[in-house]
A and B are shown apart, each in its own frame.
Chain A
Amino acid sequence: MRTATNPFVFTGCVELRQALDVHALDERELLDRLREVPIDSIFFHTHGYFLRHRPFTTAWGNDFARWAAVEVRDQVLAERLAVVDPFAVETLDDLREELALIIDGHLRGLGAVVRLPFARGFHFQQSRLVEVPLGPSAISLREFRDGLAAVDASAIYLHMVHARARRGRGSSDFAEWLRTSLGLPALADRIARLDAYLTTLERVRGRLLNLVDGALEEEGE
């Protein structure tokens, strides 16, 4: 049985949300505020959407698109924002710029914007993730598989989404460990290619388990 040089420690997380006292009551204000808010807020409203909507298919992909669809009822802008895949953009600054360009372009074609009451405005937030190591750690692919199947879904988010986007890692913690500690580069590549956009954390877990089960079969376990 292949064993890792370093154990993999599954870590879950709890999201502490913080209101920023920054609000947009129409699409023009959304553009202005989007350009000003801390980058953590961009992360919260895009990548963080997957943590908050984990049991269901994420219909709009990010909070900006959802707000445009549900509150402003501007389906065109909602659709344009919804197709922005945060996992395909290299940095959060690039993501902010792409969202801003879409809204700016959309506004140029609008005569007037709809003004909403305060309660229905877009209320910018950010969050702090409190990380929680979950035992036991894994040193083999079998133990990794067992841990992956049992951990809270927030661990899938932390290792798959947060690690890539917030910690500036090119690939997820899972792929990194499988490649460097367990010596399974082919499995790591397959996991790195896994598309986590517009799906749920449970479905991502299911796909990860399928890939790991395939590798266990190849290893004769």
Chain B
Amino acid sequence: MSRIAEYRQVAPQGTVDIIERLAERVRGRRLLHVSGSRLGGGSAEVLRATVPILGDLGIDTRWEITGGDPAYYATVRALQAALEGGERVLTEDGLERYLAMNRVSARKLDLEADLVLAHDVPPASLVEARAGGRWIWRCHFDCSGAQHGAWAFFRPLVERFDAAVFSLPQYAHRLGVPAFILHPSIDPLSDRNRELTPREMQTVLAALRVPQDKPLLLQVGPFTRGHDPLGVVNAYRLVKKHHDVRLVLAGTAEDDGESLEILANLRDAAQEDRDILILELPVDAHVQLNALQRAAMIVLQKSVHEGFDLGPAEAMWKGKPVIGGATGGVAQQILHEVTGYIVRSVEGAAFRIRHLLNNREQIPRMGAAGREHARRAFLITRHLLDYLALMVHLAP
């Protein structure tokens, strides 16, 4: 069975047929993705899933990686942070190093393709070496508030592409090329999202030492201010006065002082209340996070930053109502009062949690609506349709 056939059981009716029909129209075309890494979640996770499927569908699909020395990586990190609006010092030497290392990559890599998608900052300046085909800059972050100096350097590069692709219209910066909008997606057959057997669930939850004797509230995400885990603890405390529930905060700590301080505060809270569990997990703990999401009664994503975390889509796919912050991609994923609630405060989150706990018949109904919403809007089958439609449109 081909890889795409495996998605018939999870994709909306007729979607795989449309994927196959579109693929016929661009069969034999060369599609090249270039990014900074094959590892991690987000865009790399989507590429790991979609590149082999597109190959199976007859599209000559490759995925190349750019790289360089430590100075190159330092500049890439600083440039990306500045494009996301952070205050960074960008030196001329560093920016020149970024361009020079990508010129070396351009000589090493085979950049010949009908459509080239350069993902985020690392490969963007490869566009200087473009020979043929159409080139698209795929931006996975919010660059609408980019620092002036960083954008002044980067914009001329982006405008050498034929188009740009952003995750939301408000993430785009003013450009002289068309800006398309593609939401990120989740792979329903990956370890992070596939069905788990009851035995797998039991084994994983036991290993994580998460008892299942109380309703579970869950937030998955880095222990950073942007994901507001302390706000989630405060919302839980308001709920705990009325309901005997347990809170699990699962994620990773970044190695900066702010994140470590938040983690220390969370551990203090967990010391005082045994129903608060802080699980620091490695980035590849996909099955563990899958099991936690499936075990939860209500999932929170109380982000206060403007990124496009796919936590709500993952939870909705597992049939859970999601209470999320009114920011960027989180608010985009939740259909308010249909698949969950969009909230703007700690009190708002607590109110909605209590409402659901007091009206439990709504939980499976919202969960079912969330699963259908995720099926239609946030699975990689929709992402494949988008990629193929882009190819048909830009490289027919």
Residues of A bordering B, CB below 8 Å: 12, 14-21, 23, 54-56, 59, 70, 118-121, 123-125, 128, 130, 132-134, 150-155
B296 at the interface (CB under 8 A from A): no
Report B155-190 residues with CB < 8 Å from chain A CB.
166, 168-170, 172, 174-175, 178-182
Q: Which residues of B contact A151 (CB under 8 A)?
A: 14
- Residue on B nearest A52 in the bound complex, by CB: B377
Q: Which residues of A contact B145 (CB under 8 A)?
A: 118
Nearest CB of chain A from residue B360's CB, rounded to whole Å: 22
- Contact A21 B174, CB 8 Å, known A14-B389, A132-B21, A154-B18: yes
7 residue pairs, one from A and one from B, having the closest CB atoms: A152-B14, A123-B169, A19-B169, A17-B181, A14-B389, A130-B389, A19-B179
Nearest CB of chain B from residue A91's CB, rounded to whole Å: 26
Q: Which of B12, B373, B388 contacts A152 (CB 8 A)?
A: B12
A21 and B175 contacting across the interface, CB-CB below 8 Å: yes
B327 at the interface (CB under 8 A from A): yes
Q: Which residues of B contact A121 (CB under 8 A)?
A: 170
A134 and B170 contacting across the interface, CB-CB below 8 Å: no
Nearest CB of chain A from residue B163's CB, rounded to whole Å: 9
B17 and A152 contacting across the interface, CB-CB below 8 Å: yes
- Residue on A nearest B373 in the bound complex, by CB: A55
* 16 more CB-based (< 8 A) A-B contacts, given A123-B168, A130-B389, A152-B18: A12-B14, A14-B385, A14-B389, A16-B180, A18-B181, A21-B175, A21-B179, A55-B369, A70-B336, A118-B170, A119-B306, A125-B181, A128-B393, A132-B21, A134-B21, A152-B15
B39 at the interface (CB under 8 A from A): no
- Contact A56 B172, CB 8 Å, known A14-B385, A16-B389, A130-B393: no
Q: Which residues of A contact B335 (CB under 8 A)?
A: 56
18 pairs across A/B with beta carbons < 8 Å? A12-B21, A14-B385, A16-B180, A16-B386, A18-B180, A19-B166, A21-B179, A119-B170, A123-B168, A123-B169, A123-B170, A128-B393, A130-B393, A132-B22, A133-B21, A134-B21, A152-B17, A154-B18
B285 at the interface (CB under 8 A from A): no
Nearest CB of chain B from residue A66's CB, rounded to whole Å: 10
- Assembled-state Cα–Cα distance A150/B14 (Å): 7
- Contact A134 B17, CB 8 Å, known A18-B181, A19-B172, A128-B393: yes
- Assembled-state Cα–Cα distance A37/B389 (Å): 24
Report B348-396 residues with CB < 8 Å from chain A CB.
369, 372-373, 375-376, 385-386, 388-390, 392-393
Q: Which of B14, B174, B175 contacts A153 (CB 8 A)?
A: B14
B312 at the interface (CB under 8 A from A): no
Q: Which residues of B contact A123 (CB under 8 A)?
A: 168-170
**Chain B residue total in the interface (Cβ 8 A):** 42
- Contact A150 B179, CB 8 Å, known A14-B18, A14-B388, A14-B389: no
B338 at the interface (CB under 8 A from A): yes
Q: Which residues of A contact B336 (CB under 8 A)?
A: 70
Q: Which residues of B contact A132 (CB under 8 A)?
A: 18, 21-22
B338 and A56 contacting across the interface, CB-CB below 8 Å: yes
Q: Which of A12, A56, A70 contacts B18 (CB 8 A)?
A: A12
Q: Is the interface of A mostly helix, strand, loop or mixed?
A: strand
Nearest CB of chain A from residue B345's CB, rounded to whole Å: 14
Nearest CB of chain B from residue A37's CB, rounded to whole Å: 13
B319-337: contact bitstring with A at CB < 8 Å (1 yes, 0 no)?
A: 0000000111000000110
- Residue on B nearest A21 in the bound complex, by CB: B174
Q: Which residues of A contact B21 (CB under 8 A)?
A: 12, 132-134
A118 and B144 contacting across the interface, CB-CB below 8 Å: yes
A16 and B373 contacting across the interface, CB-CB below 8 Å: no
Q: Which residues of A contact B18 (CB under 8 A)?
A: 12, 14, 132, 134, 152, 154
Q: Which of B17, B174, B372, B390 contacts A16 (CB 8 A)?
A: B390
- Residue on A nearest B175 in the bound complex, by CB: A21
Nearest CB of chain A from residue B366's CB, rounded to whole Å: 12
B14 and A56 contacting across the interface, CB-CB below 8 Å: no
- Assembled-state Cα–Cα distance A54/B275 (Å): 40
Report B74-88 residues with CB < 8 Å from chain A CB.
none
- Assembled-state Cα–Cα distance A215/B390 (Å): 40
Q: Which residues of A contact B393 (CB under 8 A)?
A: 16, 128, 130
B13 at the interface (CB under 8 A from A): yes
Q: Which residues of B contact A54 (CB under 8 A)?
A: 376
Q: Which residues of B contact A70 (CB under 8 A)?
A: 336, 342
- Assembled-state Cα–Cα distance A16/B391 (Å): 11
Nearest CB of chain B from residue A59's CB, rounded to whole Å: 8
- Assembled-state Cα–Cα distance A33/B186 (Å): 35
- Contact A134 B392, CB 8 Å, known A16-B386, A56-B369, A125-B169: no
- Residue on A nearest B21 in the bound complex, by CB: A132
Q: Which residues of A contact B328 (CB under 8 A)?
A: 119
- Residue on B nearest A128 in the bound complex, by CB: B393
- Assembled-state Cα–Cα distance A203/B169 (Å): 30
Q: Which residues of B contact A56 (CB under 8 A)?
A: 335, 338, 369, 372-373
- Assembled-state Cα–Cα distance A221/B25 (Å): 37
Nearest CB of chain A from residue B170's CB, rounded to whole Å: 5
